[in-house]
Structure 1
């Protein structure tokens, strides 16, 4: 069954609840704080810049009270933000030394002063998240994230959120900035994938008897993974909540109540961070670890490959998974997504690496990254990215050797942006979790 595939080695350009009084009428006399623009898209980034950014991220992660964050700002440029302090120059020298150790003189490192340290930003973010989850600004603030350059929390607010923005700014001051988001994120779902199974393929949800039209709909697969020594396929938890009556995944092209050949069976859900059912999802552990589920039981197994063709292409080419990022991606990281509905879509950039939101299904999730598209290639905004049916699909970046680095799986988004669940939450959930690589 594998003859239809051709494997290529190239990648396209690529909650304490706080209750407050209703919004104060006095705030109406104040000018609302403006929305911040999206960060600059860095374009095609060199492998040396990626290596320097990774090394500097290790420095920030090791001392979050002394540093703020790392962003990739150009093809050969990395920016590191530090809070003020008497040892600012000493910390700046440590940044430059770290960059030289990783990439020599090929990368320009910009050191910038930020407002808060990463540790302080995360503490402030938890305060804002508690307000967000309590419903204090329901319908006005749709998500919460982190600006690792400014050293501030980001509140994603609607265009008509003037009073909410004024009140939040009065409370948090310069430790909070705003980006505009006017649509509640939706949770999102290649069609004839046969064993051994690849990431980026389409799956249709069935009940165990495989009867009738499957109301579970379609989703996508992410990466072949291993937990406690057993191989699984990674996908989205909102596709397979813990009490679902549609726990089985078959290749999405097949809609008949008569099952196709067993090679098209992707396995059944054995782990999910969502509770409840498809029609009535409930809180599980997605507010700690993110939106993911594991499939197990395909007789033909799973392989470290991800489809990279356009949507509806058959046969479909694939890429080899050579590495995985279990940390936090730097803002400015370019990623591709691969799922049933949109195929491979590249030129998407991480613009918030610590995003959290409540989706349209009412479930709050964290451990997310926010990505925006630059399909035009000139820094102008475009609406091209994952869509319905892509949920669970693979998110990855290039490694420079024709393989890809797994970053996470597609969770959802709006018409003009997307969010994905990072691998860091999966590794925190179970230390034995790893993506299969070749």
Structure 2
């Protein structure tokens, strides 16, 4: 499975949100703590904020995107991954484990270098914005970015890295989203995004 690189550490382990269950080992990670995006061996450019981990045989993972927060039983089927790179004006949804499904994001810029407040730098990112509604929050990192077709199925477009609000985080503030394009995951990591 893929997640945000800043959520893991190279050669480390992935645990569930409550940190009580082992899910599996990190296979590849392009995020260096205190620095940010780094080039993976054999890569010409930084690939955003990515990590790949293996699901332990004793753990369970499934492809549907949860539409609500951690306790939600409502989900959306994942049909495939989006075959085209993110483009300005494109619409996306997010599925953060904390905030659940949030739609209405519009891509504002691609191939952006962004410096987070802690001093780390994310390179080759996509920036999206929405004019109102709640924003992604801490804990949503590593969640899916996707688009929904007329049959209500999801197409993977990326992985959440971060975001926030222009001002107070209220319902009338503009929200910003930073994510890694799914195409970078397909190039930088072994294998391809599975479809169901």
Cα pair 1:371 1:417 within 8 Å, conserved: yes
| Alpha-carbon distance between aligned partners in 2 of 1:282 and 1:368, rounded to the nearest angstrom | 12
| Alpha-carbon distance between aligned partners in 2 of 1:406 and 1:283, rounded to the nearest angstrom | 21
Task: Specify whether residues 330 and 304 from structure 1 end up closer, same or farther in structure 2 by C-alpha distance, changes over 3 A only.
Answer: same
Say which SS state the counterpart of residue 412 (structure 1) adopts: strand
Q: 1 or 2, which has the higher strand percentage?
A: 2
- 2:152 is aligned to 402
Give the one of 105, 110, 123 matched to 1:366: 123
Task: Specify whether residues 348 and 320 from structure 1 end up closer, same or farther in structure 2 by C-alpha distance, changes over 3 A only.
Answer: same
| Alpha-carbon distance between aligned partners in 1 of 2:8 and 2:163, rounded to the nearest angstrom | 18
Say which SS state the counterpart of residue 303 (structure 1) adopts: coil
Q: 1 or 2, which has the higher helix percentage?
A: 1
Shift of 1:323: 1.5
Task: Specify whether residues 282 and 322 from structure 1 end up closer, same or farther in structure 2 by C-alpha distance, changes over 3 A only.
Answer: closer
Give the one of 85, 100, 103 matched to 1:328: 85
Cα pair 2:37 2:49 within 8 Å, conserved: no
- 1:242 is aligned to 10
- 2:49 is aligned to 291
Shift of 1:364: 2.4
Shift of 1:418: 1.1
Cα pair 2:82 2:155 within 8 Å, conserved: yes
After the TM superposition, which residues 71-90 of structure 1 pair with which residues of structure 2 at under 5 Å, given as runs?
Answer: none
Task: Specify whether residues 326 and 339 from structure 1 end up closer, same or farther in structure 2 by C-alpha distance, changes over 3 A only.
Answer: same
Say which SS state the counterpart of residue 348 (structure 1) adopts: strand
Shift of 1:282: 5.5
Task: Specify whether residues 282 and 304 from structure 1 end up closer, same or farther in structure 2 by C-alpha distance, changes over 3 A only.
Answer: closer
After the TM superposition, which residues 86-101 of structure 1 pair with which residues of structure 2 at under 5 Å, given as runs?
Answer: none
Q: TM-score, normalised by structure 2?
A: 0.81
Higher relative contact order (CA 8 A, sep 6+): 2
RMSD: 2.3
- 1:266 is aligned to 23
| Alpha-carbon distance between aligned partners in 2 of 1:391 and 1:426, rounded to the nearest angstrom | 15
Shift of 1:383: 5.3
1:302 paired to 2:61: yes
Cα pair 2:37 2:122 within 8 Å, conserved: no
Shift of 1:389: 0.8
- 2:76 is aligned to 319
What is the count of residue pairs matched by the alignment?
182
Shift of 1:348: 1.3
Shift of 1:273: 0.1
Say which SS state the counterpart of residue 365 (structure 1) adopts: strand
> In the TM superposition, what whole-angstrom CA distance separates every residue of 1:171-212 from its partner, at most 9, and x where no partner exists?
xxxxxxxxxxxxxxxxxxxxxxxxxxxxxxxxxxxxxxxxxx
Cα pair 1:332 1:351 within 8 Å, conserved: yes
Say which SS state the counterpart of residue 435 (structure 1) adopts: coil
Say which SS state the counterpart of residue 46 (structure 2) adopts: helix
Q: TM-score, normalised by structure 1?
A: 0.38
| Alpha-carbon distance between aligned partners in 2 of 1:237 and 1:272, rounded to the nearest angstrom | 6
> In the TM superposition, what whole-angstrom CA distance separates every residue of 1:223-282 from its partner, at most 9, and x where no partner exists?
xxxxxxxxxx11110111327xxx333332x45xxx4xxxx5422212100124xxx446
- 2:179 is aligned to 420
Task: Specify whether residues 399 and 265 from structure 1 end up closer, same or farther in structure 2 by C-alpha distance, changes over 3 A only.
Answer: farther
- Gaps in structure 1 of 5+ consecutive residues: 1-232, 374-380
| Alpha-carbon distance between aligned partners in 2 of 1:362 and 1:327, rounded to the nearest angstrom | 31
| Alpha-carbon distance between aligned partners in 2 of 1:398 and 1:349, rounded to the nearest angstrom | 13
Shift of 1:429: 1.7
Say which SS state the counterpart of residue 27 (structure 2) adopts: strand
Flag the structure with larger Rg: 1
